[in-house]
Structure 1
């Protein structure tokens, strides 16, 4: 996991100032400057456009500071992490953010700065910006650093291709995280899955090569407080199975373990911050491969919970492995259980790549997630557990259908399927994330990205009464 702490500088009076300004703030700032500086800003055409960066020279030719545009306040919702754009544009050295922000805005600015320093350099050399920030006094430095490093872990795991990120490597990442924080970890592997009643996880992963055999990762941390169970889909590559995906759909399937990557990143945040709760992380890690032992369309499979499942599409495998893991987690009756998964294309059609849709029956919990998402600029959107669609996942020949025909409401029917396995958990939330940034944006280069984790972290104190 890349440590992003080098992006922060200790308090340094000599650090050059950064002023983040909207157009009215720019007008006020200009009135306080000498005529040379005012002319410089005007001649450069700087009008505090969102994300625009302008360095300001001193009279002796040295660098006096920089301006970063916030844009029109009425359009603030269009932009996130604007300070991140400045990091790559500024000369090396220490910088100080002088603009007065409340804690949430200061944390967003500082987080964006740190994330702009994250590079994925496992396979090709990449240079992180050689600049450091003295965060504003209102910034919660330790919290921002924990979040940034958790997000870096998530991104690195998703970006790593499947030849180097199979079930065994995902297990090792979880073990490394457990060692770092003194957590306990248990891994149920291969044939032991059948012995311990995880038939769906075993069936989905059994066609993979022996060194990529399926397993269930179970990490526990914390000795007191409310209980939180995170369940992350760990399909390390998804061919679609015998319902083979076309090449155009298979190209990004290294990210099909994005749910697992996200819950591991969130687990780091929780443990690094020392939250007063008992955390459990469950990851069914598999590869959905094509082979002589692959499960087939038309098969009817047992599950840990005892519900039978008719397989109408082997490419709807994520809900199968999650079902066994959710049933296992629910047996402990956690106060809150959360699943995160790159589960359905239907969710992407509904809300696009930026929004993380979530399903929740609990209005106060949903409100807390919305509130947290707004504070930390981690957008989420609620979709319904729409009960009139329950018959769509009941095929008659078995208790459940893993891929209802018709093509409608795919994200909702998948969420309804998962909810059938959560009995025992006091509250349940399901996130159907994308886990990928398709085009570069401030603090979010093209590639793997965490979604929903920061919103949930922000909501936990209210939801679990921490």
Structure 2
């Protein structure tokens, strides 16, 4: 439950936000004992600096330093530590105006703890809402859902349970949900069936459809590999340690779909999640196997640990058949993207410059950044196969994230505007607003980016020819 109070009459304490340049004026407005206390304690309003203010009854309020950030911004991170820095279960209201959305979002994101297996060590402080913060709360709830999904171990989150998460949000929002499994999966999504053949937990595809006729169609395709052993090309123990998060792309798009429906974005939505486990058994697919795909392309398996792109290949082909205005996939796809950009910057690939620009601008606007990488045609031949239409890995050990994106592009119709996100979906260390563990990385950027795209383009009929592909 989010740590907020909606009763405006509930007794609460004031929280002041002060930029360093505004500190002298703020001190002049305080009672002498409070101003004296702040000066004596060395408070300089540097970013993240928090002081409790004394009063006749003991505690009279608190002040949070913003450093040089005098301007109102959309970043939630300056407020991400408040829920556990203020006294346990205390109730606070924001004194200043103009930052309500960012404060509410940062407060709630910072209050998240994964409590499925043990209780939280303490209760967070609560924020009293004055005014409308529905957008912030919807975003926080979606982010909590994403984090819960990613943090849940694979023993308790198999393909069936991941598909059930899609069903759950569909039921809440009166969306149509279809689960494809068994013979229908083998026929319609053969690459996904091949990836999941080695597990005793059967693979499936969860399809959610929502929206009104006449609105543009947005297709979201998520890699939902609930655990990745690497298959017969077995990962090392260290490489396997966090593989419960290999369904992070699917979780993030489930959260995005929930947010789109909660805030009633004027789109028709297709969410396609490939729910599968890459495991080892006598039924597992093998290096050198040639597998079918929905697109009709035969894929030689150069490495069974490059399974995520096989899952997405079928999903992208299916989504492309529906003629969406925009198509987005998200996946924890390559270690190469992390080597290039680190854990905090998802790699964005796109065949359309205007779409990429909207998503990148949105990421900067809401402090959820991405970095664009090239679809460099010069590397496409690295995926050539002598026995099939394409190999699932390159013949050369370089540019792994680019090559993976080029593989996916093979399954995207050229006239469809498409963006691919190769992301980490995890916080290695705790920071304000970002506890260690699963993270809804890029979810907020994608939501705001889609809003930007929709505001300038109202329907599939306006789909333009993609920008020329990068060649250098």
The two structures have a TM-score, normalised by structure 2, of: 0.92
Q: Is the 8 A contact 1:311 1:402 kept in 2?
A: yes
The residue that corresponds to 1:221 in the other structure is 210
Q: Is the 8 A contact 1:108 1:377 kept in 2?
A: no
The residue that corresponds to 1:189 in the other structure is 181
Distance in 2 between residues matched to 1:268 and 1:402, nearest whole Å: 32
Equivalent pairs, count: 453
In the alignment, does 2:135 pair up with 1:143? yes
Counterpart among 49, 54, 74 of residue 51 in structure 2: 54
The residue that corresponds to 1:37 in the other structure is 34
Counterpart among 133, 145, 166 of residue 174 in structure 1: 166
The CA deviation at 1:384 is 1.1
1:297-325: CA deviation from partner (whole Å, max 9, x where unpaired): 11122211011111111000000011011
Matched ranges for 1:116-265 at <5 A? 116-127=110-121, 129-135=123-129, 137=131, 141-194=133-186, 196-209=187-200, 212-224=201-213, 225-265=215-255
Q: Is the 8 A contact 2:66 2:78 kept in 1?
A: yes
The CA deviation at 1:359 is 0.6
Matched ranges for 1:362-401 at <5 A? 362-401=352-391
Q: Is the 8 A contact 1:330 1:424 kept in 2?
A: no
Distance in 2 between residues matched to 1:455 and 1:130, nearest whole Å: 27
Q: Is the 8 A contact 1:218 1:280 kept in 2?
A: yes
Consecutive unaligned residues of structure 1, counting only runs of 5 or more, are none
1:115-165: CA deviation from partner (whole Å, max 9, x where unpaired): 22222111111156342223465xx51111111111111000000000000
The CA deviation at 1:76 is 11
Distance in 2 between residues matched to 1:424 and 1:336, nearest whole Å: 12
Distance in 1 between residues matched to 2:287 and 2:197, nearest whole Å: 15
The residue that corresponds to 2:77 in the other structure is 81
Q: Is the 8 A contact 2:19 2:70 kept in 1?
A: no
Helix, strand or coil for the counterpart of 2:81?
helix
The CA deviation at 1:397 is 3.0
Distance in 1 between residues matched to 2:60 and 2:333, nearest whole Å: 50
Consecutive unaligned residues of structure 2, counting only runs of 5 or more, are 459-472
In the alignment, does 2:7 pair up with 1:17? no
Q: Is the 8 A contact 1:340 1:431 kept in 2?
A: yes
Distance in 1 between residues matched to 2:415 and 2:313, nearest whole Å: 13
Q: How has the CA–CA distance of structure 1 residues 361 and 322 changed in structure 2, closer, same or farther, with 3 Å as cutoff?
A: same
Q: How has the CA–CA distance of structure 1 residues 57 and 429 changed in structure 2, closer, same or farther, with 3 Å as cutoff?
A: same
Q: How has the CA–CA distance of structure 1 residues 75 and 348 changed in structure 2, closer, same or farther, with 3 Å as cutoff?
A: farther
Q: Is the 8 A contact 2:343 2:426 kept in 1?
A: yes
The two structures have a TM-score, normalised by structure 1, of: 0.93
Counterpart among 384, 398, 403 of residue 393 in structure 2: 403
The CA deviation at 1:190 is 2.7
Distance in 2 between residues matched to 1:74 and 1:89, nearest whole Å: 22
Question: Which stretch has the larger CA shift, 25-34 or 198-207?
Answer: 25-34
Q: Is the 8 A contact 2:19 2:66 kept in 1?
A: yes
Helix, strand or coil for the counterpart of 1:418?
helix
In the alignment, does 2:99 pair up with 1:108? no
